[in-house]
């Protein structure tokens, strides 16, 4: 039986740096006694970053962490291992680790926004979050009931109000006694040996092991970008924080370019477009008539 890895991210998500001791390695997979790297879990991709190994000459060798998984509480770091490094990785070797915090913060913004929306959807409609996927370019969540397009703006506005209220995101580890009276949402996909509760006061209480922002204001903004019917319920796609800004910038640039090419202002684009479509239809009819007469 392998000892579970000490999860430094459970209690401190803002510190990307740590030192750890090598327990073993096999085929480019490293096991350490402790780690700040969050593994892939509950539909969310893992942290990335680097591990730094003393090179024996007073310097360090960087090993890129490309993926992190968890099996029976043991965290497995997949690293790029140059051939000549193998001999340096003996059990007991001390390593320095650095988590890529830009990637983690982006994930924290999406993930915490998901809690807010799921809390609101659960409170208003009683639906459960039955699926969650978070990668570099998409964030989706599935609900057990149907939402109509007209219901989305109000959910979105409530979620953004919770962001602007800059509420604390509290992490607690309730005792078995406290768990008996605690009411919380639970995501079945997330396996946790220790119950970790994430509370956003007045919005959501949920069992979750992932990194979250410390206050909702750090999310900045959330936009619901897609609503689809999904297995008897719905799937929502969202963009939060820097992703919401990137999306806004992309759309803003596109509309500005479109307005310029139509020599009109933003608000006249739909009218200009309708007119152009009517003109095209008229021209097609004319061509057909002319062809017939030739």
Sheet holding 129-134, edge to edge: 129-134, 139-143, 233-240, 222-230
From the CB of 139, what's the least distance to Zn ion, in Å?
A: 12
Question: Is residue 77 within 8 Å of 174, Cβ to Cβ?
Answer: no
Q: Are strands 139-143 and 233-240 parallel, antiparallel or unpaired?
A: antiparallel
From the CB of 205, what's the least distance to Zn ion, in Å?
A: 11
Residue whose C-beta lies closest to Zn ion: 208
Helix or strand (DSSP H, E) at 60: strand 60-71
From the CB of 112, what's the least distance to Zn ion, in Å?
A: 7
Give the nearer residue to Zn ion in terms of CB position, either 75 or 210. 210
Give the nearer residue to Zn ion in terms of CB position, either 99 or 208. 208
Task: Say what angle helices 242-261 and 269-293 make with each other, to 10 degrees.
Answer: 50
Q: Are strands 204-207 and 185-186 parallel, antiparallel or unpaired?
A: parallel
From the CB of 207, what's the least distance to Zn ion, in Å?
A: 9
Q: Determine the Cα–Cα distance for residues 54 and 185; give it in Å rounded to an integer.
A: 44
Report how many helices (DSSP H) and strands (DSSP E) the chain contains, helices first: 5, 16
Give the nearer residue to Zn ion in terms of CB position, either 68 or 210. 210
Give the nearer residue to Zn ion in terms of CB position, either 81 or 239. 239
As given in the structure block, the two tokens for residue 80 are 């790029």
Helix or strand (DSSP H, E) at 279: helix 269-293
Give the nearer residue to Zn ion in terms of CB position, either 48 or 115. 115
Over the window 186 to 215, marking each residue x when it contacts Zn ion by CB under 5 A and - when it does not, the resulting string is ----------------------x-x-----
**Rounded to the nearest 10 degrees, how much is the dihedral formed by the CA atoms of 160, 112, 13, 20?**
-150
Q: Give the interface size with Zn ion as a residue count (CB under 5 A).
A: 2
Give the nearer residue to Zn ion in terms of CB position, either 53 or 210. 210
Q: Does residue 221 belong to the site contacting Zn ion (CB under 5 A)?
A: no
From the CB of 8, what's the least distance to Zn ion, in Å?
A: 17
Catalog residues that contact Zn ion under the rule CB under 5 A.
208, 210
């Amino acid at each position: 039986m392998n000892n579970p890895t000490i999860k430094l991210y459970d209690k401190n998500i803002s510190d990307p740096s740590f030192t750890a001791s090598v327990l073993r390695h096999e085929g480019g997979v490293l096991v350490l006694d402790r780690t700040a790297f969050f593994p892939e879990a509950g539909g969310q991709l893992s942290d990335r970053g680097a591990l730094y190994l003393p090179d024996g000459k007073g310097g360090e060798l960087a090993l890129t962490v490309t993926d992190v998984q968890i099996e029976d509480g043991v965290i497995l770091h997949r690293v790029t291992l140059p051939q000549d490094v193998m001999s340096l990785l003996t059990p007991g070797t001390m390593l320095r680790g650095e988590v890529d915090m830009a990637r983690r913060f982006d994930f924290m913004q999406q993930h915490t926004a998901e809690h807010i929306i799921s809390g609101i959807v659960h409170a208003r409609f009683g639906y459960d979050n039955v699926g969650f996927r978070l990668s570099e370019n998409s964030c989706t969540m599935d609900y057990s009931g149907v939402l109509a397009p007209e219901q989305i703006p109000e959910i979105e506005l409530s979620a953004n109000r919770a962001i602007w209220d800059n509420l604390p995101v509290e992490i607690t580890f309730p005792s078995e006694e406290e768990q008996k009276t605690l009411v919380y949402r639970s995501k079945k996909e997330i396996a946790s040996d220790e119950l970790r509760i994430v509370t956003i006061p007045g919005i959501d209480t949920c069992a979750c092991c992932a990194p979250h922002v410390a206050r909702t204001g750090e999310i900045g903004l959330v936009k619901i970008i897609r609503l689809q019917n999904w297995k008897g319920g719905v799937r929502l796609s969202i963009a939060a924080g820097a992703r919401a800004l990137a999306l806004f910038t992309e759309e803003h640039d596109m509309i500005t370019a479109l307005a310029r090419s139509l020599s009109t202002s933003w608000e006249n684009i739909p009218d200009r477009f309708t007119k152009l479509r009517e003109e095209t239809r008229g021209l097609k009819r004319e061509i057909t008539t002319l062809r017939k007469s030739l």
